[in-house]
Every structure is written in C-alpha cells, then in structure tokens.
Amino acid sequence: MSTELHPWYLHKSIELVEADPTRAWTIGELATSCGVARRTLQKHFRRDLGCTPVEHIRWVRLQRARQELLRAPPDARITGIAAQCGFNHLGRFATWYRARYGETPSATLHLARMTPAGFGPGAGASGSGPVAEKGTG
C-alpha cells in the first residue's frame, strides 16, 4: 500500500489494529487515535480498501488465528486460539473462518498436524490484506 494512494490516517489505523488486533477497537477510538472524524475513516476504508474498519479488524484477527492454527502444538484447542486472537463467540469465528479460507478451523488444525512444518496451506504466505481479496471481508 503506497502512501501516495491512501491517506496517512488510514495507514495509521491499520498499523494500530495490526499492533493490537485483540483489543476491542471501536471506530471512534481508531478515528480519535488518527485525529479524524469517524465518518472520514469509514469512508476511506470503504473507498480505498473495499471494507469497513470492523471488517478489516476481523480480517487481521482471522489471519492471526490461521497462522496460530497452522503452527499449533498437538495439544492446542481451537477455542483457546480463537480467544487468543480476539474472538469471543466460537460459532461466529468458525463461520467467518470458513467463509474466508474455505475450510473449518478444525480442518486447518488437522492439516497442520498432518503436514511437516514449513509445508502446506499458508506456509510462508499470509496474503496481503483485504485489498488482495476485495469483497471477502
């Protein structure tokens, strides 16, 4: 993402979320932290990234959950990983995860346990964000 294409406050809000994705961010907090109005931030997320701030936060959390599932130890539990990544409702987490990645969290965990480290889905590639998959947030 180039600063010439997107306003600085959009970059700052993305950095804030990525630095602390489990925080219960509100659009108001992000906007205040960036020194802009809520509506301005919402407008630029939608216009420049094709998603809302809430969808972006969810995407960052899902990405982190997938990374954790792929490198989870044998005794890891999906509920613990979901909670650690900021998801409080396991059913919604599973629904959003499946919509995003085309498989359930348990399928990812099972595959990670069956695949040697460094190989398999997502190894070394985490995507480049909502811009790369516009409309899937």
Dihedral sign computed on CA atoms, order 41, 30, 65, 71: positive
Q: Are 90 and 78 in contact (CB under 8 A)?
A: yes
Task: Tell me what pLDDT residue 133 has.
Answer: 40
DSSP class of residue 118?
T
User: What is the Cα–Cα distance from 25 to 123, expressed in whole angstroms?
Assistant: 29
| 86 phi and psi angles, rounded to 5 deg | 100, 10
Task: Tell me what pLDDT residue 127 has.
Answer: 45
Which domains can be identified in the chain, with CATH numbers?
Answer: 8-50 (1.10.10), 55-114 (1.10.10.60)
Considering the entire predicted model, what is its pTM? 0.78
Q: Report pLDDT digits (tens) over 93-111.
A: 999 999 999 999 999 999 8
Summary mean pLDDT of the chain: 85
User: What is the Cα–Cα distance from 18 to 118, expressed in whole angstroms?
Assistant: 23
Structure tokens at 49: 């990234």
Here the contacts of 32-35 (C-beta below 8 Å, separation 24 or greater) are 34/9, 35/9
Please give the full DSSP string across 14-40, using - where no structure is assigned.
HHHHHHSTTS---HHHHHHHHTS-HHH
